[in-house]
Amino acid sequence: AQSVTQPDIHITVSEGASLELRCNYSYGATPYLFWYVQSPGQGLQLLLKYFSGDTLVQGIKGFEAEFKRSQSSFNLRKPSVHWSDAAEYFCAVGPSGGYQKVTFGTGTKLQVIP
Amino acid sequence: DVKVTQSSRYLVKRTGEKVFLECVQDMDHENMFWYRQDPGLGLRLIYFSYDVKMKEKGDIPEGYSVSREKKERFSLILESASTNQTSMYLCASNSGGRGRNTGELFFGEGSRLTVL
């Protein structure tokens, strides 16, 4: 069965500092991998996705993520965090079994301090 | 832009009541999903549908049912609400149909249900 682990429940960074959010996955084949962001009181929005090809993918809002098969990881990075980046971030893996099932991690809540 | 609309942002219901959560998408997507979101548990899939009148159980279907009579509409039903169903419910959709899905999901803003 596919699964996703986000080891950090909560992260605090200073505005302007760099950011890395960790994600590890378990999947039997080459996965589809995603990062979503959820602002307070909102639904989830796709930041970026990896299907195949270049292992470094660029997303919206200046985010990027790198797929590392050997480490089963798909960490999210941003070189300089803005206060508006404060939100909850979810890593996800899928699909599986011919159906449309995407499995989400438990999320990492990002706090940005001045 | 894809729009997924959940009819109720906030609901308060009593134990034992029947609850309907409605979701409509306007992009002719084949696939629709219901997730529940709880702190520390992330998103868990309740049910999904890849075609009209078709439904598949997700990871936590107990206590829930769904209905998809039209392509654009996917309803989540709590036959007899219980306090442990207090949660945020998120509807999502995407295109591709069975076997052709890209995985990317488009979410509604969520329905926060409180069961007293």
Taken in order A27, B93, A65, A90, the sign of the CA dihedral is: negative
**A59 shares contact with chain B (CB less than 8 Å):** no
Site of tokens 């959010």 = A21
Identify the pLDDT of residue B98. 59
Residue of A4, A100, A103, A109 to mutate when probing chain B, most B C-beta within 10 A: A100
For residue B76, how far is the Cα from the chain centroid?
5
Whether A95 and B101 lie within 8 Å, measured CB to CB: yes
- Mapped onto helix, strand or coil, the DSSP state of residue A30 is coil
Whether A104 and B43 lie within 8 Å, measured CB to CB: yes
Taken in order A53, A55, A56, A60, the sign of the CA dihedral is: positive
In this predicted structure, which of A95-99, A106-110, B56-60 has the lowest mean pLDDT?
Answer: A95-99
Site of tokens 């803005």 = A82
Contact predicate B30/B74, CB 8 Å: no
% of residues, chain B, pLDDT over 70: 92
pLDDT at A29 over 60: yes
Q: Which two tokens stand for residue B108?
A: 């509604």
Q: Which residue of A has its CA nearest to B2?
A: A45
Residues in chain B with CB shorter than 8 Å from the CB of A32 are 102-103
Q: Which residue of A has its CA nearest to B4?
A: A43
- Binning pLDDT at 50, 70 and 90, where does residue A21 land? very high
Q: CA of B14 to nearest chain A CA: how many angstroms apart? A: 23
- Reported as a single tens digit per residue, the pLDDT across B59-68 is 999 999 999 9
Identify the pLDDT of residue A51. 83
Give the span between the Cα atoms of B93 and B98, in whole angstroms.
13
In this predicted structure, which of A65-69, B13-17, B57-61, B94-98 has the lowest mean pLDDT?
Answer: B94-98
- Reported as a single tens digit per residue, the pLDDT across B68-94 is 999 999 999 999 999 999 999 999 998
Site of tokens 């979810």 = A90
Q: What is the mean pLDDT of residues B103-114?
A: 91
**A69 shares contact with chain B (CB less than 8 Å):** no
Whether B105 and A102 lie within 8 Å, measured CB to CB: yes
- Binning pLDDT at 50, 70 and 90, where does residue B46 land? very high
- Binning pLDDT at 50, 70 and 90, where does residue A42 land? confident
pLDDT at A86 over 90: yes
Identify the pLDDT of residue A43. 87
Q: CA of B97 to nearest chain A CA: how many angstroms apart? A: 8
Residues in chain A with CB shorter than 8 Å from the CB of B7 are none
Give the span between the Cα atoms of B64 and B77, in whole angstroms.
6
